[in-house]
Amino acid sequence: MTNGDTTAGDRIDDLLPRAGTGPLSGQVVVDFSRVLAGPYSTMMLADLGATVIKVEGPRGDDTRHWSPPVREDDATYFLSINRNKYDIVLDFSDPEDLEVARKLAARADIIVENFKPGGLAKYGLDYESVTQTSPVPNPKVIYASVTGFGAHNALPGYDLLVQAMSGFMSITGSPEGSPYRAGIAVFDVITGLHTAIGVLAALQHKNTTGEGQLVETNLMSSAMSGLANQSGAYAAAGVTPTRMGNAHPSLYPYQPMSTKSGELIVAAANDGQFATLAKVLGRPDWLSDDRFAEAKARNAHRAELEPELLEALAQHTAQEWFEKLTATGLPCAPINTIAEGVERAKDLGLDPIVETGQGERVIPTIRNPIRLSKSEVAYDLAPPELGADDERVRAWIDTL
Give residue 22's region: left, alpha or beta (phi > 0; psi -120 to 50).
Answer: beta
Q: Can you tell me the distance from the alpha carbon of 205 to that of 225, in angstroms, rounded to the nearest whole number?
A: 23
Burial of 152: CB neighbours in 10 Å, binned 0-12, 13-18, 19+:
exposed
The chain-wide mean pLDDT, for the chain, equals 94
pLDDT at 354: 97
pTM of the model: 0.92
Q: Can you tell me the distance from the alpha carbon of 19 to that of 209, in angstroms, rounded to the nearest whole number?
A: 29
Q: Residue 162: phi, psi to the nearest 5?
A: -70, -40
Q: Residue 340: phi, psi to the nearest 5?
A: -65, -35
pLDDT at 10: 53
254, 266 Cβ separation under 8 angstroms: yes
**Predicted confidence band of residue 134 (pLDDT cuts 50, 70, 90):** confident
232, 167 Cβ separation under 8 angstroms: no
pLDDT digits (tens, 9 = 90+) for 150-173: 999 988 899 999 999 999 999 999
Long-range pairs for 75-81: beta carbons < 8 A, 24 or more residues apart:
78/383, 79/363, 79/365, 79/383, 80/365, 80/366, 81/36, 81/39, 81/40, 81/43
14, 188, 271, 290: the catalytic one is 188
pLDDT digits (tens, 9 = 90+) for 283-340: 999 999 999 999 999 999 999 999 999 999 999 999 999 999 999 999 999 999 999 9
pLDDT digits (tens, 9 = 90+) for 60-115: 999 999 999 999 999 999 999 999 999 999 999 999 999 999 999 999 999 999 99
pLDDT digits (tens, 9 = 90+) for 332-383: 999 999 999 999 999 999 999 999 999 999 999 999 999 999 999 999 999 9
pLDDT at 14: 84
* Known active-site residue 188: yes
Smallest Cα–Cα separation from 252: which of 303, 283, 295, 309? 295
Q: How would you label 16-49 residue by residue, b for 16+ Cβ within 10 Å and e otherwise? A: bebeeebbbbbbbbbbbbbbbbbbbbbbbbbbbb
When pLDDT is averaged across residues 262-279 and rounded to a whole number, the result is: 95
- Supply the angle between the helices 95-107 and 390-398 in degrees, to the nearest 10: 70
